[in-house]
Amino acid sequence: MSQIALKGVTKSFGGVSVIHGVDLDIETGELVVFVGPSGCGKSTLLRLISGLDQPSAGAIEIDGRDVTRVSAADRGLAMVFQSYALYPHMTVRQNLSFGLENTRMAKAEVTGRVAEAARMLNIEPLLDRRPTQLSGGQRQRVAIGRAIVRNPTAFLLDEPLSNLDAELRVSMRAELAALHARLGTTMIYVTHDQIEAMTLASRIVVLRAGRVEQVARPLDLFNRPANLFVAGFIGAPS
């Protein structure tokens, strides 16, 4: 049984269909990258998996359970956005603990999780700062930390590095890969950047205009693209 399964997932906005019957199976611990040109439906698909949005047709299952109508909060997944979405009036420490304080979690457990995430992401010296006192890379570390403290069963990352300059993007990419290796938690990573997809993914899902064109390991995608679109997009010989 796969951890996350999409079955004929379709989404329309105001009668216009943007996701057309997507079937997909994601196994526990995979680092799956959704790649495709701007507007192809990457963010929409991720929002449907996260529960921030509902499909118009089809179903989403987690560990074999139909969660199509289950709220985002009850799916056990954590989303990280391109725009960080940190609370500007709170310190880093408060940003990290905020999501946990509304739960019944013991205070010592909250403190422990925040400390552990801060250690993992090298942001311990920043815990008493506010987001405006951080660089872009530091802000994105805090946003990732906020997902880690929730101990999710999967991370959903929507172009998390695209606001960073090229050099930082490369080093943060390596950090994310290391984090994935260390935690072993499933990641679904959205990007429009082919190189990012090829370097990070255990499997790549190529999307085009709301449809899956191909699902394959990076090297297989490069060596055996399913069609001219995939070959052209990934930059493989065709």
Q: Which residues bind Mg ion (CB under 5 A)?
A: 43
Residues 6+ apart with CB under 8 A from 86: 95, 131, 139, 142, 143, 146
Longest dimension (CA), the chain: 57
- Choose one: 31-39, 60-68, 84-92, 139-147; the region binding ligand ADP (CB under 6 A): 31-39
Other Cβ atoms within 10 Å of 194 Cβ, number: 20
**Residues 36-75 close enough to bind ligand ADP by CB under 6 A:** 36, 38-44
Q: Of Mg ion, ligand ADP, none, which one sits near residue 102, judging by CB under 5 to 8 A according to partner kind? A: none
**Is 43 or 50 the residue whose CB approaches Mg ion more closely?**
43
User: How large is the C-alpha radius of gyration of the chain?
Assistant: 18
**Is 157 or 172 the residue whose CB approaches Mg ion more closely?**
157
Residues 6+ apart with CB under 8 A from 131: 84, 86, 87, 88, 90, 92, 95, 139, 142
Q: How far is the CB of 13 from ligand ADP (least distance, A)?
A: 3
Distance (Å, rounded) from C-alpha 134 to C-alpha 136? 7
225 binds ligand ADP (CB under 6 A): no
Distance (Å, rounded) from C-alpha 26 to C-alpha 5? 6
User: Do 130 and 96 meet the contact criterion of CB atoms below 8 Å apart?
Assistant: no
**Is 18 or 183 the residue whose CB approaches Mg ion more closely?**
18
**Residues 9-28 close enough to bind ligand ADP by CB under 6 A:** 13, 18
Q: How far is the CB of 189 from Mg ion (least distance, A)?
A: 12
Q: Of ligand ADP, Mg ion, none, which one sits near residue 235, judging by CB under 5 to 8 A according to partner kind? A: none
User: Do 44 and 18 meet the contact criterion of CB atoms below 8 Å apart?
Assistant: yes
Q: How far is the CB of 50 from ligand ADP (least distance, A)?
A: 12
**Is 116 or 193 the residue whose CB approaches Mg ion more closely?**
193
Q: Of ligand ADP, Mg ion, none, which one sits near residue 215, judging by CB under 5 to 8 A according to partner kind? A: none
User: Do 214 and 34 meet the contact criterion of CB atoms below 8 Å apart?
Assistant: no
The encoded tokens of residue 194 equal 């082919």
Q: How far is the CB of 56 from Mg ion (least distance, A)?
A: 19
Give the footprint of ligand ADP on this chain (CB under 6 A).
Answer: 13, 18, 36, 38-44
